[in-house]
A and B are shown apart, each in its own frame.
Chain A
């Protein structure tokens, strides 16, 4: 893997990292649960065909300022500023995973003319009492990897502290990512996104791992029925909730084919 270029976008006065890599049509990615403390193989696969732009959600690794957002409207405007600042509004495709998937869907709902395609990997934002989303936060640290992934080692590798990194700040950055997701989605993961799905008019790819233990399969059906644009559903074999970590090639291929 080569190193991505790094720039920053200010959101509510706080810097949020933007990674960029690859050549081709521009495509954006909003990270899943836990964020991206490291560049991942999935993004390299995408970078073979696209200019991949990865802005960090405030509070996720590389991004600050999550405590400036109190309401969901604050969050929508913050992510709007983030993706606009990263050059992703104006017709680029946008990918989002889990919490990033819910926020990407809101971008397409609020600014439908600005997103050409949407790819959502097990997106959050809904909740059904008779088929609840799993609580991702009430976990001991060693339980998170097995909950999120079919191959938990991918989680451990992502979260392992690299040599030479400040050992005090690294775990705090990982904890901050969980806090930021909680600040947006506590306690149920439900942002009322169901009410806004009808505003999404772009073609949308719905991806879910066949062993996803966080988002029930029925939620994908709710997305499919609710989104006004054309939808395609793709199940990824051998994958948990973070499909882009479990099966990076298969997810990247599905997105490439869709776009």
Chain B
């Protein structure tokens, strides 16, 4: 299996009373809370943490895109990867999960920037194409929720064609009209970098990933327990479509906190976890469900399952928890999981000694069946020292215990970089001297 170290880059100094005095961490968060000089240190700490994770032997380092968001300081994840492409361990894949491609008109820019990253890194890019959250796309960027998925599909077609078409071409789409598409640079990987699709629990997304042979990534903040129905639904759909059960078809995100003793883990990770689930997920339900964002097919699935739940006597019977993600997530958090005990009990964060975490992850990876494990080991207001401690324990004591997982399966969705001998070597001596 692959171990992918994921960073959200949260603002780490939201005030203690944030929840009481702010309706949302997203869209209309108070700009007076943002201190650019403190953010200078945060960004540099975050990049240090990612470089450290790469040095520790993680298979990939991952970034993503958010806007007007107190827990995600990466409006442009490509800028972060540009830095990491030069400075991080050259054996590490670079995963951007991703660019919200419906937002960019023309999508030429995404095709170009990802091609640049693939060239700079010598073919180590994984390109993620999320539809994007309602808060990011419809409110922070003003995209029309009723057209978002149509624009997403068209942008995908545009980018893939821009990467693969050898001649200049014209593109006449519903939303994008370009006389000349002819990107320079072009990606190292042929026909193009692997495409991963972060998504919720929609059947349409699963089918599309299967049809296009893309990796489906379930990026939930709610851990392995809440993911059971979604991942089961994904694999059931793969079975129905006649696809093999290669676990590398899927990725999954999990928060993890490791310490030398269980007592230390409870002590060390309480504050950053409570910071994240209390302050960072303070999202106003007003922004969670703009009209048209959720497809009618998914609405039907959600409505029907709620009716089924009512008939069954309670919300625990709801099968599809992703039908209206923002609203349901907010509801979950308000009710049950802002204190660390509940966060751990619900499986949002896995904590423990290296042996305990390895045992639990082995169970989760097998149970949910995924080959790409995305790990959030810096979360909330966690310091660089603690993030690196957490990362080191995972790399040195957990990763080896999972080395045999899925060893019989081949990962067809991993980057195919240039041979090491053919790649450029960034002059680290010059960089080190400049740093001094």
Give every chain B residue within 8 A of A138 (Cβ-Cβ): 139, 286-287, 290
In the complex, what's the smallest C-beta–C-beta distance from A188 to chain B, in angstroms? 8
Within 8 A of B (CB), among A135-156: 137-140, 143
- Nearest-neighbour CB distance to chain B for A164, whole angstroms, equals 16
Of the stretches A110-118, A167-175, A218-226, the one at the interface is A167-175
Contacting residues, chain A, for B232 (C-beta < 8 A): none
Assess the A176–B174 pair: CB atoms within 8 A. Answer: no
**Least Cβ distance of B25 to chain A in Å?**
15
List of B residues within 8 angstroms of A171 by Cβ: 299, 303
Query: Are B147 and A172 interface neighbours, CB within 8 A?
Result: no
Interface-located stretch among A14-22, A46-54, A178-186, A197-205: A178-186
Q: Which of B15-53 contact A (CB under 8 A)?
A: none
B175→A182 contact, CB < 8 A: no
Main secondary structure of the interface of A (DSSP, over half): helix
A175 cross-chain contacts in B, Cβ below 8 A = 291, 296, 299
A183 touches B307 (CB 8 A): no
Question: Are A182 and B145 CB-contacts (below 8 A) given A138-B287, A140-B285, A176-B296?
Answer: yes
Number of interface residues of A (CB under 8 A): 22
With A179-B291, A182-B144 given, is the CB distance from A70 to B174 under 8 Å?
Answer: yes
* Complexed CA–CA distance, A50 and B373 (Å): 67
Whole-angstrom distance between the Cβ of A175 and the nearest chain B Cβ: 6
Residues on the B chain within 8 Å of A66, using CB: 146
Task: Look across to chain A and name the residue whose beta carbon is closest to the beta carbon of B141.
Answer: A187
Q: What's the Cα separation between A180 and B292 when bound, in Å? A: 8
Give the nearest-CB partner of B296 in chain A.
A172
Q: Point out the residue from A167, A172, A186 that lies within 8 Å of B144, measured CB to CB.
A: A186
Q: Does A195 contact B (CB under 8 A)?
A: no
With contacts A139-B286, A140-B285, A187-B144 known, is A182 near B304, CB below 8 A? no
What residues of B have a CB within 8 angstroms of the CB of A2 in the complex?
A: none
Give the interface residue-count category, chain B: 20 to 34
Q: Which of B271-289 contact A (CB under 8 A)?
A: 285-287
Contact B303 A168 (CB under 8 A): yes
Task: Say yes or no for B315: interface residue by CB 8 A criterion.
Answer: no
Are A187 and B304 in contact, CB atoms less than 8 angstroms apart? no
In whole angstroms, what is the CA distance A168 to B298 when docked?
12
Which residues between 83 and 110 of chain B lie within 8 Å of chain A, taking CB atoms?
A: none
Distance A70 CA – B287 CA, assembled complex (angstroms): 23
A186 to B141 CA separation, bound complex (whole angstroms): 11
Which residues does chain A contribute within 8 Å of B299, judged by CB atoms?
171-172, 175
Report B153 CB to chain A, min CB distance, Å: 12
**B142 nearest CB neighbor, chain A only:** A187
Chain A positions within 8 Å of B174 at CB level? 70
Is B423 located at the chain interface by the 8 A CB criterion?
Answer: no
Q: Mark contacts of B142-154 with chain A using CB atoms, 8 A cut-off: 1 yes-contact digit, 0 otherwise.
A: 1011110010000
Contacts of B290 in A (CB 8 A): 137-138, 182, 186
Q: Is B300 interfacial (CB 8 A cutoff)?
A: yes
A interface vs B, CB < 8 Å?
66-67, 70, 137-140, 143, 167-168, 171-172, 175-176, 178-183, 186-187
Shortest 8 CB-CB contacts between residues of A and residues of B: A178-B291, A179-B292, A183-B146, A179-B291, A186-B144, A138-B286, A187-B142, A182-B291
Given A70-B147, A168-B307; 6 other pairs, CB 8 A cutoff: A137-B290, A137-B291, A140-B285, A175-B291, A182-B292, A186-B144
